[in-house]
Amino acid sequence: MTVLAPLHFADAREAAALAAFLTRLVRYDRAAAVRLQAGGGALAVFGRPPSFEVLAIRTALLVDAVDLDVTVSAGELLEGIEESSGKAVVPDTVTGPPWTGVLPPRTGWRPVEGLPGSTEMRGAVAAAVAEFRARDAELPEDRRTTAERDRIGRDIWSRTLGATGLPLRAVHAAQSLGFLPPATGETPVALLASGPWLRLRTPYGSIALRTSPTSLISLSVTPTASAG
């Protein structure tokens, strides 16, 4: 077993922000794994919340230029974060699920025009959640199945945001994980593309997904309620 040195964050706020992200991720999947990549004084944490068909990315600044690339338990990493001291103990590595081998590229991103502001995106998510609940409530008893609810969810969350090509499920994931800026005041958000990948970038984190039909990320699409 290789014992990894603790990660030392630039300040306690970086540790707290990462802890908040991991808390939300574990809320969706108690057995969640995350891939950690560190280099040049920065840490990137990749997670895959169930139901959304996306990758969530949270970054943090480190004191030291650590070189690291491991997959670990999200829950154990969360337990190892000491917010007051601004450090984290990296847990033992685990065998990563298939998605950990299919990460978005680091370079080659270009802007995609037409992305609405955070207020409009929050409104789109709220309307989609309301539609799902209404259509679910209208189902007769003999059709209240997981398969039927998945079908409704796929229909709603696969819709794209305007002409951007970004599925609504990506915006829903950003809001549910605390990445989408609050509706009060317009904090800059951006949509980027690189090859078959799209990336919704905000000051709080990024949501990335492959638009290629040959995507290696094959996930459930059962909708979840908006988490703020």
Domain boundary among 53, 72, 101: 101
Judge if 51 and 74 occupy the same domain. yes
Contact assessment for residue 192 and residue 199, using Cβ atoms and an 8 Å cutoff: yes
Domain boundary among 101, 121, 136: 101
Of 15, 5, 8, nearest in space to 90 by CA: 5
How does pLDDT run across 173-203, given as a tens digit for each residue? 999 999 998 765 566 899 999 999 999 999 9
Residue 170 lies inside a defined structural domain of this protein: yes
Q: Which domain holds residue 162?
A: 110-189
How does pLDDT run across 49-69, given as a tens digit for each residue? 988 889 999 999 999 888 999
Q: Which pair of tokens denotes residue 53?
A: 């068909």
Judge if 18 and 94 occupy the same domain. yes
Judge if 124 and 52 occupy the same domain. no
Residue 148 lies inside a defined structural domain of this protein: yes
| Number of independent structural domains in the chain | 2
Judge if 126 and 92 occupy the same domain. no
d(CA 210, CA 6): 32
pLDDT at 222: 33
pLDDT at 163: 87
pLDDT at 224: 37
Domain boundary among 42, 67, 101: 101
3-state SS assignment for residue 160: strand
Mark the ranges of the chain whose per-residue pLDDT is less than 70: 1-3, 183-187, 212-228
pLDDT at 186: 62
Of 173, 194, 220, nearest in space to 57 by CA: 173
For residue 65, give Cα distances in angstroms to 3, 8, 15, 36, 184.
18, 10, 16, 14, 36
Judge if 89 and 161 occupy the same domain. no
Residue type, position 3, single letter: V
Q: Which pair of tokens denotes residue 190?
A: 């951006």
Which CATH number goes with the domain that contains 70?
A: 3.10.150
CA 111, chain centre distance (Å): 20
